[in-house]
Structure 1
């Protein structure tokens, strides 16, 4: 019951913040790519977002990801604050990309992203849908990872305008 009330409060406060400050911003704190399904994630300082493909050198853009065609994401995103909470609560290491998401951002609330576009560096990305963790995550990152991420598994984005993105870039809701 407490979690339900807390989540509703977060959604309500995010709406209030948006009404007061429609141009909310956050920061890009991490970029991760893998060259193939199950390959280790590599941290990058910068990369190119490719229109209707994903991130350069990532499994999704290269067509080497583990997904069904109807379930694929061009770019995946997760919130740094959620990762920190999961690390504290479950004791799982997540700083080296074990979460298997491409972008890590801080300073925004997940509900703020829904049905919006995000400007990150030169790129414009559109929110597509939630990205819950799947059982494959446990096989690649270790048992219990999917359950730990739970409903904070992230978001799928589509690249609408390509360009360079770099760690430290401002993330602006459009």
Structure 2
């Protein structure tokens, strides 16, 4: 996979401007210093995305089609990526540098994003797959601008894999009983 992290942004509390950082510590629960990790996000504790990803290409499309420039962080997403189809990461575990994430769901826009961005049309611009995704931190570490994406793996093995593993375990136990 050729994708990489182009920018990282965090905000310490609800509605605060997104601050650009070169690196941040990712832990189960989110990014240290970000509003949702700290429990101070607008939707805390009801609708929490540990980490949000948005594609730089989507932001470029928004600028071209809607004449709205969200590259200043008004999109309210944590990680801006380039060269990766974020929706391919849903229901998969994937690494970014030394951190392992699990893509959990699309992140559609909301009226709150438009209010904070203080620009009409932001919510509509972030629709149709341009809003990014949510991901949970599985194995933490330092997340850095420039980190590359690893090859995603299904988060939950196929049922046939589970069945095969169960059969193998049963066979191993049967062999031990015979000995």
TM-score range, shorter chain: 0.7 to 0.9
Q: Which residue of 2 aligns with 1:167?
A: 145
- TM-score with structure 2 setting the length: 0.80
Moved over 3 A (4+): none
User: Which structure has the bigger radius of gyration?
Assistant: 2
1:145 and 2:122 aligned: yes
How far off its partner does 1:111 sit? Answer: 3.0
1:98-153, Cα deviation, whole Å (9 max, x unpaired): 11000011111133112112211111010010110001011100221111111211
Name the structure with the higher helix share: 1
- Please give the alpha-carbon distance, in whole angstroms, between the structure 2 residues aligned to 1:73 and 1:105: 17
- Write out aligned runs for 1:3-18 (5 A): none
How far off its partner does 1:68 sit? Answer: 5.1
Of the three residues 49, 53, 62, the one matched with 1:77 is 53
Gaps of at least 5 residues in structure 2 are 153-179
- Please give the alpha-carbon distance, in whole angstroms, between the structure 1 residues aligned to 2:151 and 2:106: 17
Q: Which residue of 1 aligns with 2:71?
A: 95
Cα RMSD of the aligned pairs, angstroms, is 1.1
Contact 1:37–1:65 under 8 Å retained in 2? yes
1:109 and 2:109 aligned: no
- Give 3-state SS (helix, strand or coil) of 1:47's partner: strand
Contact 1:113–1:173 under 8 Å retained in 2? no
Gaps of at least 5 residues in structure 1 are 1-23
- Give 3-state SS (helix, strand or coil) of 2:52's partner: strand
- TM-score with structure 1 setting the length: 0.82
Distance 1:68 1:33, change over 3 A: closer
- Give 3-state SS (helix, strand or coil) of 1:171's partner: coil
Contact 1:78–1:103 under 8 Å retained in 2? yes
